Amino acid sequence: MGAILGTAKTRDIGLNMDDEPTFDPNVGFSAPRKERVMIAKEEDLISARIPLKYRDYCAHLLLDYHKCRFKEAPWMLKCAHEKHAYLNCQHEDYIIRMKEFERERRLRIREKRIAKAGCA
């Protein structure tokens, strides 16, 4: 049996952290939302030997950081700007993922509340 990765607020609606979104991404928005796309190419990530767990929406910045480290070795401090850009992107990606999780949680609760009101 797998571990439940949700919180106490999400267990009753069956929402786990690894679940895919079940609602249309544009529900509740007046204008269509821009879809996130990978900037880094898979071939570049493979040739740079970037592990799978780091191949996310910030991988292009990780590539820049690795290139800088290779170019500036052994003075890695010269790559502080690239490192900061990568870590900032990781933080923003985390914020986006948490907002999407919260959106999914609220939409599931709304759906459950509407279904309960329809039965009553």
25's tokens:
């991404």
Looking at residue 22, what is its pLDDT? 84
DSSP assignment letter at 3: P
How far is residue 79's CA from residue 8's CA, in Å, rounded to a whole number?
A: 42
Who's near 60: CB < 8 A, 6+ residues apart?
Answer: 38, 39, 40
Write the single-letter amino acid at 44: D
Q: What is the pLDDT of residues 78-96, one digit of tens each?
A: 999 999 999 999 999 999 9
Write the single-letter amino acid at 113: R
Q: What percent of the chain has pLDDT over 90?
A: 52
- Domain locations in the chain as residue ranges: 39-119
76's tokens:
């890695």
